[in-house]
Amino acid sequence: MEKILISLKDKSYPVYVGNSILEQLTYLVDGHNLPKNIFVIVDESLMDVWGPKIKNIFFDENYKRHLYFLKPGEHSKSYLELNKIYSSLINNNFGRDTLIAAVGGGVTGDLAGFAASTFMRGVNLIQVPTTLLAMVDSSIGGKTGINFSKTKNMIGTFYQPQFVFIDTKFLDTLPQKELLSGLGEVIKYAYLSDENFYSFVKKNFDKLIRKENESINYVVTKSAIIKASVVSHDEKESGLRQILNLGHTFAHAFETELNFKIKHGEAVIAGIISAIYLSRNMNIVNDSTLTNLISLTAKVKLPKQLAKINFENVYKIMLLDKKNRNGRIKFVLIKNIGEVLLGVESGKPEIFSALKMMINFISKESSNNWI
């Protein structure tokens, strides 16, 4: 089992990563001296296959344990569901000495994290991510939240867990579409880190798609290290943490424009392709760097709905991005692998041209075409 440390000003905590390590979770809770009153918020869809293993954790006379089953899907990240969690905590006599364990994907982690940060002014939390996206991204860094009034993550907190526990064995049952969603973030880290990791992801992309154990474990660990390092330097996203938004200004607009019918990771990959072309349009990269940068994304199949996006709509949605100032859209752009530029303002013609190039690239130049 690997241990990665997140070092923050007020609190540091570890991320444990391994394969088939679930039975060690109870010992770790003991080792960290955490409360023995454990409220487990678990994605209900896991119970069919993982039920017996999940029911085994924290299950002896030393613990008071309650399992709270969460309906899968984004709609569970709601005020209504949060209300039910508070009621269940109170009705089952959980108090300040509670440990909330989030077992599931990003939806479970964000909601359980928000509940932990607000119940009784904050109780202990551990994150046990079960999707690739949650393992490499959402469980690390302390962002929690719920959606409100049709806006994603409208209400939330920064609240760090006591530790994050990543058992990559959970990925065995993860559907391909969800896997690709997480690979979108892995690809983003490949661009943010160095040539070595970029080449590894490119060379082993087929193995990653097949969930080949060694490659998956390697990229999960490496991605967690990258995210941990960024968060350690900038917990509240005042500077460096913004690099994690590479491709995301475009991606969020694609998701909204397509009514969330494509996966987040698919939108991120299309967003990164757009950001690379925008970097070219703004003379941040030359043609030979462009060829290298774009080559990794050619490995990925993307949904054909992306070809139908309305550029004016996408532009308007991007203008609403909360990171903008004075009505100018700010992008994270890329100069080369490991070199990104923050807060680059860009004009409408360059943006429209980048969108067109992204669609052309996926339609014509990608060997895999659309799915």
Ligand X SMILES: NC(=O)c1ccc[n+]([C@@H]2O[C@H](COP(=O)([O-])OP(=O)(O)OC[C@H]3O[C@@H](n4cnc5c(N)ncnc54)[C@H](O)[C@@H]3O)[C@@H](O)[C@H]2O)c1
Q: Which residue in the list 222, 248, 299, 330 is annotated as catalytic?
A: 248
Judge whether 227 counts as a catalytic residue. yes
Strands 37-43 and 12-18 turn out to be unpaired
Strands 143-148 and 151-158 turn out to be antiparallel
Closer by beta carbon to ligand X, 134 or else 246: 134
**Single residue of 127, 131, 223, 245 touching ligand X by CB under 6 A:** 131
* Interface segment toward ligand X; rule CB under 6 A; list 41-49, 87-95, 115-123, 349-357: 41-49
Residue 303 CA: distances (Å) to CA of 42, 163, 180 = 30, 35, 11
What residues form DSSP beta bridges with 302?
Answer: 370
Binding of ligand X by 137 (CB under 6 A): yes
d(CA 239, CA 263) in angstroms, rounded, equals 27
Judge whether 233 counts as a catalytic residue. no
Judge whether 252 counts as a catalytic residue. yes
Q: Which residue in the list 9, 33, 91, 121 is annotated as catalytic?
A: 121
Binding of ligand X by 141 (CB under 6 A): yes
Binding of ligand X by 133 (CB under 6 A): yes
Judge whether 292 counts as a catalytic residue. no
**Those residues with Cβ within 8 angstroms of residue 96's Cβ, 6 or more apart along the chain or in another chain:** 120, 123
d(CA 18, CA 1) in angstroms, rounded, equals 5
**Those residues with Cβ within 8 angstroms of residue 189's Cβ, 6 or more apart along the chain or in another chain:** 136, 197, 222, 223, 226, 227
Helix H or strand E encompassing 370: none
> Interface residues for ligand X in 68-107 (CB under 6 A)?
72, 74, 77, 104-107
Binding of ligand X by 170 (CB under 6 A): yes
Binding of ligand X by 152 (CB under 6 A): yes
Judge whether 121 counts as a catalytic residue. yes
Judge whether 241 counts as a catalytic residue. yes
Q: Which residues bind ligand X (CB under 6 A)?
A: 43, 45-46, 72, 74, 77, 104-108, 110, 130-131, 133-134, 137-138, 141, 143, 152-153, 170, 173-174, 178, 181
